[in-house]
Amino acid sequence: MKYLKTIAEECIGCNACMSACSTLYFKEDNPEKSAIQVGEAGGGGYTLSACDQCRVCVAECPTQAIIVNKLGVVMINKALCIGCLACVAACPSGTMRSHRGGVAPFKCIACDACVKVCPSGALKIEVKEG
């Protein structure tokens, strides 16, 4: 299974990852439209959250718009999505996202755009069995 591994202790809070993600998928630099989120943690550190491909959302989708591809990545077929956001409500990590004005939900698909721009090595694409 391919996924984005986050290493919060390496994060410097530059938000380059959020910028790269939203720019790639929504053609605008907007943190609200980033599938990876950086937050402040106590003690001056940062938190990183991105989909870990747990697949809870797959079972919640009433139209079967959410599937798991051959690499183990959870994907959304926007043509089948009715925008009910049941997947967003069911996501245990809060990483299935939606934004104001958006019809379909979105999430990290382990594409590596954020990894390429991360100056501190806080993000990596990994593959694990399962």
Give residue 100's pLDDT.
Answer: 83
Give residue 130's pLDDT.
Answer: 61
User: Could you tell me if 91 and 20 are in contact, meaning their C-beta atoms sit under 8 angstroms apart?
Assistant: no
Q: pLDDT, tens digit, for every residue of 2-61? A: 999 999 999 999 999 999 999 999 999 999 999 999 999 988 899 999 999 999 999 999
Q: Enumerate long-range contacts of 99-106, CB under 8 Å, 24 or more apart.
A: 99/30, 99/32, 99/33, 100/32, 102/33, 104/76, 104/78, 105/76, 105/81, 106/25, 106/33, 106/35, 106/76
Q: Which uninterrupted H or E stretch holds 87?
A: helix 86-90
CB neighbours of residue 86 within 10 Å: 18
